[in-house]
Structure 1
Amino acid sequence: MDLIQKFSSDVEKIKKHYRAEHQTYNGEEVCNQVAAFFEQQNRDVASLAHSYASYWKEAYILPSQNMEEEPTREHIDLLAGMMALLLDVEDSWQFTECFTQEDWKQLCQLTNYEAEDLPLELLSSLMKNFVDNQAV
């Protein structure tokens, strides 16, 4: 199991544990826990990870009409794709296929904002992904 698959599995465990420990499921609270976990897993680039997690919540979680199911598999996959970018995973395209053009543009914009604090190698890899996906 690679890091991205493990992350997705751990997110499912967060959902499962929340359901076991609470009488009613609060998808927004679970998503907040998932976002915090995402940030923890990417602590080397904490500020950018926080920005990505905030975008994920604002674009996909808060507008959800089915909060008792959040995060859905689709939304977990989106966050896992963001993690693949931040970890500079080889063949990250496998995890980012679910991104829309708007996702690419927003992630590029967030990355540009944080660029001066990122390791040069990671920034270069991220920018290559953004160029390849016509986000710049």
Structure 2
Amino acid sequence: MDTIQKFYTDIRKVVKHGRTQDGSYSSDTVCTEIAQRFSNLFADLGSLPESIAEYWLQNRILKSAAVGSEPSEQNLLWLISAADILNGNPPDEGESVFTAEDWKELFNLVNAEAEDLPIDTLTDLMSLFMSKKLL
């Protein structure tokens, strides 16, 4: 099992545990824990993972029509896709869960954190953004 598959398994467990604990469910607690796990997974990338996790919370979770039952499977896949990108595995053309706005924001977040990123990661990310015509 690779790192991203393990992360996905772990966050599914967080959701499952959150849905069964005491018969109640706290979307805020579950989503915050998932965001924290995402940040911890890429701790070597400075504050970029935390910024991406915050974007996910603010723009995918809190703007959801069903915020009380988040994270939806679609929003979990969004975060998994972000993890794949940070892990050096960009999505295949046509398979991305990111909107044009998401891509722009990811570019802006990477750009803001560029000097703190390892050069190989920065190069991979900038190549991806070039392919998306964001540069």
1:37-48 equivalences under 5 Å are 37-48=37-48
Once the two structures are overlaid, the 10-residue window that deviates more, 60-69 or 36-45, is 60-69
The two structures, once aligned, show a CA RMSD in angstroms of 1.6
Q: Secondary structure at the match of 1:93?
A: coil
Deviation, 1:67, is 2.2
Unmatched tracts of structure 2, length 5 or more: none
1:93 aligned partner: 91
Deviations 1:36-68 (A, max 9, x none): 010111111140000000011111101112123
Which ranges of 4 or more aligned residues in structure 1 deviate by more than 3 Å?
none
Q: C-alpha distance in 1, partners of 2:70/2:109?
A: 24
- Cα offset, 1:29, TM superposition: 1.4
Distance in 2 (alpha carbons) for counterparts of 1:65 and 1:74: 13
Distance 1:94 1:13, change over 3 A: farther
Q: How does 1:1-136 map to 2 (within 5 A)?
A: 1-89=1-89, 92-94=90-92, 97-136=96-135
What's the TM-score, normalizing by structure 1?
Answer: 0.91
Q: Which runs of 5+ in 1 are unaligned?
A: none
Residue identity (%): 37
The letter for the 1-side match of 2:6 is K
Residues 40 and 46 of structure 1 are in contact (CA less than 8 Å); yes or no, is this contact kept in structure 2? no
* TM-score, normalised via structure 2 length: 0.91
